[in-house]
Each structure stands twice: as C-alpha cells, then as structure tokens.
A and B are shown apart, each in its own frame.
Chain A
C-alpha cells in the first residue's frame, strides 16, 4: 500500500517535470518564433487582429476591475486611518496599492480569465479538429502562425491595460475618498504625490510584460496540448487558468523582491526615511 503511494508519487512527479520541460521548450520556441515574426510583414495583420480581441475588447472589464479596487480600498482603509486622524493620507495608501500591486495583479487575473480561457479554448478546439495539424501539413509553423500573434499582442497590451486599471483605480479611490467621505481634495492629492514615486508606477507596469507573457504562453501551450473531446478542451481551459493565476502570483512575488533590491541599490538613503 505504502509503496504504491510512493510509486504513484514518483510517476506524478516525473509527469509534472516532463510537462514542465515541454512547456519550457514551447516557451523557448514561442520566443524565437516571435523574434523571427517581428521582422515578417505577414505577422502584423495577425497581431492587429489579436490586439483587438485581447486588448480593445478587454478594456471595459479591466477598467471596471480597476475602479472597484480603488473604491474598495478607500472604504476599507478609511476607518482605520480616520481613527488615528490620518485620513488625509488615504490617497497614499490607495494609490500605492493600486499602482504597485493590486492594479497589475487583478488586471492580469482578469485577463487570465478572459483571454486565457478564450485562447486555450480556441487553440484547443483547433487542435482537436486537426486544424493545427492542417497548418503544419501545409508547411507553416503553427507556433509562428498561431502563437506568435497572440503572444506578442498579450505581451504588449497587458502593460497598457494595467495603465487603464491603475487610472480607474486612482479615480475610484478619489471618488470615494474625496466626494463621498469628504477628505480635502488638495491634501489627498498632495500626500499621494509625495508618497507615490514614478518608480512604483513603473514597477507595476513592467510587471505587465511578465504577466502578459505568462498568460499567453501558458494558455497557448495548454491549447496545443489539449486532449481529445469536449472534456479535453474544458480541462485544458481550467488548467490554463489555474496555472496562469499561480504564475501571476509567483511572478508578482519574484518581481517584488527584485524591484525592491534594485530600488535599494540606487536609492539606499531614501528607504531609510
């Protein structure tokens, strides 16, 4: 009984590692194909189409997400700060949380759900109905034709969408703090301006490139390796979302550590203030 469990554990671990290896290879292929794709004229119309689907059509949900993040933060944090008489500092708290963490992460999670699911389902269905094989059979690299436009569109547009999420988060926070809770507008903004660095905003936006790459690569990979039938496609979508979500959180942590170290390297004094 025990040895069976151990054996199963071994099998699963090996399978997991194999899967990871295949993904890394797929990711490498996508990167090199993207580098080749950028210089090919034929890629651009494909990228534009994907940009429309991935970027333009995601804008409303991303903006709604951002606005609610800012509004909720204002409502939640107000009481605590007001208790200490620090309610005018609310802007710093809201805006730094929004631009550095919550805006990028929640926008990326939203994208993983909206885009990741759609990409996996689309490519998975193409795989199951042999359309991906058809692309290959006609002498075209399916990674170049199908993955590259989606990957590049996601990579370039996730940071832009994060800017929109940030903007709406800031406006949402302002709306609740100043208009509803009656904090002095000038104090709110001047504390915010002092507390939030350009660095914080940049870190949040840079995260977007990583999140975008992770979402699109994972979703395309899951679509390409999807199993037969409706069940296979459904399972691939679920796995793609879960894997994207976890990677977003893991990348967020890693990038937080890295950005903090870089910050301390360049502005060692400031962090002491």
Chain B
C-alpha cells in the first residue's frame, strides 16, 4: 500500500481522509490518495462503489463531507466557487456520456472553455485551435456537426478534445470506454496514452474495463465499499491475493451470488408456454 506517499513531491492531487456521505450512506470512507504527476492512474471497482464520486471530488464538483483535497500543494476543498473556477481550468474532465452541449456545434463545444476564459473574437486563430484539438482526436472536419449527428465513440472523442482545449495539466476520465465496441474503446485507450506521452499530461481514469485499465495504467487502484482495497501497478493487481480483487479483474461471480442464483429454481421451471394461459 502507498498510503503515506503524500510527501511525494511528484504528487499533483492529494486526498486526505476524504469521506463522502449521502444521508447515512457512506460512499467513500476516509480515502487517502496521492495522484502522481505525469502518470496515468486508473481507479477500478464495481459499479456504485464511488469511483465517479472520487473523480468528481478531485475538482470539487462534489464537496467532501469531511477531509481535505489538495491540488499542487494548495488546499482547494475550502475555496469558494469563483476561486475554484480558476483552479478547474487546470483540469480537463471527460464525462461518461461526453456531456457535449447539444445546442452547440462540435466547434462551438470545443471553443466553449476558451471563449469563456479568454477574450477571443471569432477569428482564424480560434478556428485553428479547434482544428488542432480535433485533429488530435482524429476528427478534423467534424467542426460543423451537432453532437446528435455523431456516434457514441465520436462524441467521446469530441468531448476529449473539449476537455483538453485549455491545455490542462490533469485530465480526468469517467468511464471513457463504457458503451463502445472493443475497437472504438481501444482508440480511446490510445488517445489516453498519446496525451500522457505526447503532452506529459497526468491522467486519472475511472473504469471497470480491465483491458483498458491494463493498457493505460501506470498504477491501478481498486475501490471496494468506499475503501481502497488494492493499489499498485498492473502486475501487482493481477497477482493480488485478495479474492474480491481476483473476482473483479477476472469478471467472475462470487460464490455467494451463485448460491442465490441456484436457489431461485432451474431455468426450465421458469419457462412458460403462451398456450398455458389460454382457457
């Protein structure tokens, strides 16, 4: 476990004893986590284990119930929204569904953060910027389309182009490959690697797609019931002794779950013929 690496000078994001509760439901329980600069950290775990909340906590889209969040050594969880706005420009966030503005074109979507923070008129320079960002994700020429006219994979790539529009230092990915076929998922994986190698970005990826996790990760963290269950590189996770980790990475059902399935009768008994219902 690398819980006490908060002194690590390479740490760019640091969570200290972060707890998040919704009512009485503890989603994250005293999480200590340091994200290393220039590396790709992958957070895995079953659905509903609080992965997305953890990601949102890093840029305070969700506020922690208790605990502290640091960005480059500066505490940010106690800042007001307008101060946070400035901090957030150092981040790019790729939402699970892309979250593109559907009333704006692809180009306007990518321009959005730039126009919001800099005084730019609609001139050649901004078009050039949009072109380079789109080219990076392989979608140059799609400028005038609307999000509704794109496929799921294209939408995610445009959303990624928008996330990196302000040249952020950190990109946070919420399930970037979910809902994509294996080939399109791999395009996203390649893009994540490209951003790290080419631009030296720090990536934090939340996923339950193990193929993707092994491919992009420098470090994998497994969350389970609000706590960090495993933390290490891909080999460390592959050989992790904990049965829950093994079940998750192999995609196996636990014995308990199987027992419940067996209890509920055989498949044959549950079949019915429509004619049984006729008088």
Which A residues fall within an 8 A CB radius of B? Answer: 42, 126, 129-131, 133-134, 136-141, 145
Closest 8 pairs between A and B when the two form their complex, measured CB to CB: A137-B93, A134-B99, A138-B113, A130-B99, A139-B88, A139-B89, A139-B85, A140-B116
Assuming A139-B87, A140-B113, A141-B85, what are 13 further A-B pairs, CB within 8 angstroms?
A130-B99, A133-B61, A134-B93, A134-B101, A136-B85, A136-B88, A138-B93, A138-B113, A138-B162, A139-B85, A139-B117, A140-B117, A141-B81
Please give, as numbers and ranges, the residues of chain B lying within 8 Å of A42 by CB-CB distance: 115-116
Please give, as numbers and ranges, the residues of chain A lying within 8 Å of B166 by CB-CB distance: 138-139
Measured CA separation A42–B116 after assembly (Å): 8
Which B residues fall within an 8 A CB radius of A? Answer: 56, 59, 61, 81-82, 85-89, 91, 93, 95-97, 99-102, 112-113, 115-117, 162, 166
Please give, as numbers and ranges, the residues of chain B lying within 8 Å of A140 by CB-CB distance: 85, 112-113, 116-117
Please give, as numbers and ranges, the residues of chain B lying within 8 Å of A141 by CB-CB distance: 81-82, 85
Residue of A nearest to B86 (CB): A139
Residue of A nearest to B90 (CB): A139
**Residue in B82, B95, B112 whose CB lies within 8 Å of A130:** B95
> Is the beta-carbon distance between B113 and A129 smaller than 8 angstroms?
no
**Residue in B61, B86, B97 whose CB lies within 8 Å of A137:** B61
List 16 contacting pairs A-B, 8 Å CB cutoff, sorted by A: A130-B96, A131-B99, A131-B100, A133-B93, A133-B95, A134-B93, A134-B99, A136-B88, A137-B61, A137-B93, A138-B113, A138-B162, A138-B166, A140-B112, A140-B113, A140-B117
Measured CA separation A139–B99 after assembly (Å): 15
Measured CA separation A141–B88 after assembly (Å): 11
> Is the beta-carbon distance between A129 and B97 smaller than 8 angstroms?
yes
Please give, as numbers and ranges, the residues of chain B lying within 8 Å of A126 by CB-CB distance: 101
Measured CA separation A150–B95 after assembly (Å): 25
> Is the beta-carbon distance between B61 and A136 smaller than 8 angstroms?
yes
Please give, as numbers and ranges, the residues of chain B lying within 8 Å of A139 by CB-CB distance: 85-89, 113, 116-117, 166
**Residue in B82, B96, B97, B116 whose CB lies within 8 Å of A138:** B116
Residue of B nearest to A122 (CB): B103
Measured CB to CB, the closest approach of chain A to B179, in angstroms, equals 14
Measured CB to CB, the closest approach of chain A to B106, in angstroms, equals 14
Measured CA separation A140–B112 after assembly (Å): 10
> Is the beta-carbon distance between A145 and B88 smaller than 8 angstroms?
no
Known A42-B115, A133-B61, A145-B116: A138·B88 in contact at CB below 8 Å? yes
Known A138-B88, A138-B89, A139-B89: A131·B101 in contact at CB below 8 Å? yes
> Is the beta-carbon distance between B81 and A138 smaller than 8 angstroms?
no
Residue of A nearest to B62 (CB): A133
